[in-house]
Structure 1
Amino acid sequence: MMHSRANIRPYNAQVLVGNWYEDRVMEEEVLTDFLEKRSTGQLSSQKMSEVERMSQTIPLSISAGDGLLRFGHQLMLIHTSVYSAQNTGEKSQLSCCLATGIPHSSGLQDGATEVTATGTTSIRPTLRSAFILGKPNLSVSSDSVKYGDEIILSDTNGELFLTCVKSSTRAGRTCDVIFTSNKTRNSVWIVMHPNINARLEFDGSDVKIDDKIVLAHAPTNKCLSVNVEHFNRSPYGREHELLCELSTGSFATYKAPILWKFQTQSAY
């Protein structure tokens, strides 16, 4: 079938100008979209994975000349216990620090954000291993922390709180340790002296940075502990499992990996 000449778009200078204008508009739209994404960090080359983001190094609070631990400090909680291997009896230093882990669901707190609490062997301050030491009522304070004080530990955004929860898979004397956005009485811990016989004497005295301490869960009197026989695999690598177990009134605590220390950045 032959088309009449009237139905055919003539090829002339106006057609060339029109095509050039459309191309220019499209190029400008692409450039505008690129600049907008670059300014908001949405380019693929600018995006980092969650593991990379949480592994970024951040500064800790600088300790004052008195060396005292204070509320409001941004710090790390480092494990300091020496333990004996179950089969060989060989003693080893257990080097790990508290860190946020992977998403978790306890089934006890509907709608709350929950992640596991884990013991990372990477001893450096990052977004997942640095925490804010606060008071249970969330009041702003720089008071020194004393033995027997109740504390909370939150992530650097103040959104997730170290919490002890009942476990559906563990024995009754053992609880899970998680970070949750739902702060309750189960998010409160007591700073205790490591020597059971000296606790009454030291109660009310100042805690110094790097002092060995025991963190007891306020409602249950169980201690934050490391399971030396079990590791968790996560995107961050092989990490220690954390538990809340053993009464602080038992002499068995001397044998348990429950000794910790708070660490800030030295002023010197």
Structure 2
Amino acid sequence: MAQNLYGHGVRMGNWNEDIYLEEELMKDFLEKRDKGQLLIQRNRRVKQMLLGPTRLSVSEDGYIHTGDKVMLVNPDHPEADADVFLRGDLSLCLTPDEIRAHLSDQLEVPCGLSAAPAMSPVGRNTFILLSGDGEAAGQVLRYGQNFRLGITGGFEDKMLFLSSDHRTLLKSSKRSWLQEVYLTDEVSYLNCWQAAFPDPQLRLEYEGCPVPANASVLINHCHTNRALAAHRHLFLRTYFGKEVEVAAHTHLDVHRVEKPRNHWMLVTGGPREGAPTMLDVRRRPLEGTPGAGGGPRAQ
């Protein structure tokens, strides 16, 4: 079979134009590389920001304060309504669109959310608790008080807020078609949330009391009165792998009590070296105490 063995060195056809075209392509490539505008460089920069380690706030009095850096963790529980689900503690994570993440090195809004088994504090799962009433940072958060949850994702020049709004035909969660939660840079009443005591029989009695750190609470959206929920049986293919859906919906059992899907912990940092979160402190008993040699996990 005849083969085309001619190249630029044979000097046939538009060989001079081809050489100039290759030189221009190489020049454009080197210029983008020097400016850090190549797709692989943008991709690497986004991952470094979102997966860069962060430091959570340490609670000295055992309560949550405005200005604290915390992780929102859905505690491990079996999903009774599904056979296949994701086990383990799941943290609320920023999840950029996969296509946008490859084309830009900045966070695009609105930005999605998911729950992932990532228990180390990094840029994509570290939230800053902000007051919704304009109070100064450092005040103790109380049940029934409005607050906002902001996240930078490692980009210090941009703050995104956890938001939600009523479900419509054109706007809902991807898998369950329930009320969507997302991140936006606009400050509004759609960013406001409240913490509620998980036991409905004691909820009114705890109204106005300080919110303890690392304890189960309900996080209700003020505008729609829907609770934040992690759907362990609804998987998503994200930029970081397989994770599960997060939506705003109050799941009630036959006793009108919120299911474990709606339970979250505001996890703070651990005071000990080698324990980035208080969950690590609970799982690693002190040396010399019963159960330190591989016994059951401390509660």
Shorter-normalised TM-score: what interval? 0.7 to 0.9
2:111 corresponds in structure 1 to 115
* Alignment equivalent of 2:180, drawn from 166, 171, 176: 176
Answer yes or no: is the 8 Å Cα contact 1:83–1:255 preserved in 2: no
Gaps of 5+ in 1: 1-32, 105-111
Find the aligned partners of 2:130 and 2:51 in 1 and give their Cα distance.
Answer: 23
C-alpha distance 223-97 of structure 1, shift in aligned 2 (>3 A)? same
1:85 is displaced (CA, Å) by 3.6
Matches of 2:82 and 2:246, distance apart in 1: 21
Contact 1:51 1:236 in 2 (8 A): no
Q: Deviations over 1:190-245 (max 9, x none)?
A: 10000011011111111111111000001111100011221111121111100101
Question: Structure 1 CA distance, aligned partners of 2:68 and 2:232?
Answer: 28
The letter for the 2-side match of 1:265 is G
Structure 1 residues 163 and 153, CA gap change in structure 2 (3 angstroms): same
Q: Which letter maps to 2:77?
A: V
Counterpart residue number, 2:92: 98
Distance in 2, Cα, partners of 1:227 & 1:82: 11
Q: CA deviation at 1:154?
A: 0.3
* Deviation larger for 249-258 or 233-242: 249-258
- TM-score norm. by structure 1 comes to 0.72
The answer to whether the 8 Å contact 1:163/1:180 transfers is yes
User: Looking at CA atoms only, which structure, 1 or 2, has the larger radius of gyration?
Assistant: 1
- Counting only pairs closer than 5 Å after superposition, residues 229-268 of structure 1 correspond to structure 2 as 229-246=233-250, 251-268=255-272
Q: Where does residue 147 of structure 1 map in the other structure?
A: 143
| 1:179-198 aligned within 5 A | 179-198=183-202
| Identity value in percent | 20
Which residue of structure 2 aligns with residue 75 of structure 1?
70
Preserved contact between residue 113 and residue 182 of structure 1 (Cα < 8 Å) = no
Residue in 1 aligned with 2:130? 134
Q: CA deviation at 1:263?
A: 1.0
Q: Distance in 2 between matches of 1:224 and 1:250?
A: 19
Query: Could you give the per-residue CA deviations for residues 62-88 of structure 1, whole angstroms, max 9, x where no partner exists?
Result: 221x11111100111111152334255
1:248–1:147 distance in 2 versus 1, CA, 3 Å? farther
Aligned length: 222
- 46-55 or 235-244: which moved more? 46-55
Q: Deviations over 1:102-122 (max 9, x none)?
A: 149xxxxxxx82100111211
On the 8 A contact 2:71/2:121 being kept in 1, the answer is yes
For residue 190 of structure 1, give the secondary structure of its aligned residue in structure 2. strand
The answer on 1:226 being equivalent to 2:220 is no
> C-alpha distance in 1, partners of 2:228/2:255?
16
Contact 1:114 1:178 in 2 (8 A): yes
The structure 2 residue matched to 1:53, chosen from 49, 52, 67, is 49
Name the CA distance, whole Å, in 1 between partners of 2:41 and 2:72.
31
* Contact 2:252–2:258 under 8 Å retained in 1: no
CA distance in 2 between counterparts of 1:246 and 1:134 reads 23
Asked if structure 2 preserves the Cα contact closer than 8 Å seen for 1:78 and 1:261, the reply is: yes
TM-score relative to the length of structure 2: 0.65
Q: Which moved more, 1:181-190 or 1:41-50?
A: 41-50
Amino acid at match of 1:69: I
RMSD: 3.3
How far apart are the structure 1 equivalents of 2:193 and 2:252?
A: 12
Q: Distance in 2 between matches of 1:216 and 1:85?
A: 23
User: In 2, are the aligned partners of 1:71 and 1:135 still within 8 Å (CA)?
Assistant: yes
Partners of 1:148 and 1:212 lie apart in 2 by 15
Counterparts of 1:230 and 1:145, CA distance in 2: 32
Match of 1:162 in 2: 162
Work out whether residues 225 and 245 of structure 1, in 8 Å CA contact, stay in contact via their aligned partners in 2: yes
Per the TM alignment, residue 183 of structure 1 is displaced from its structure 2 partner at its CA by 2.0
Kindly tell me: are residues 151 and 247 of structure 1, through their superposed partners in 2, closer, same or farther at Cα, counting changes over 3 Å? farther
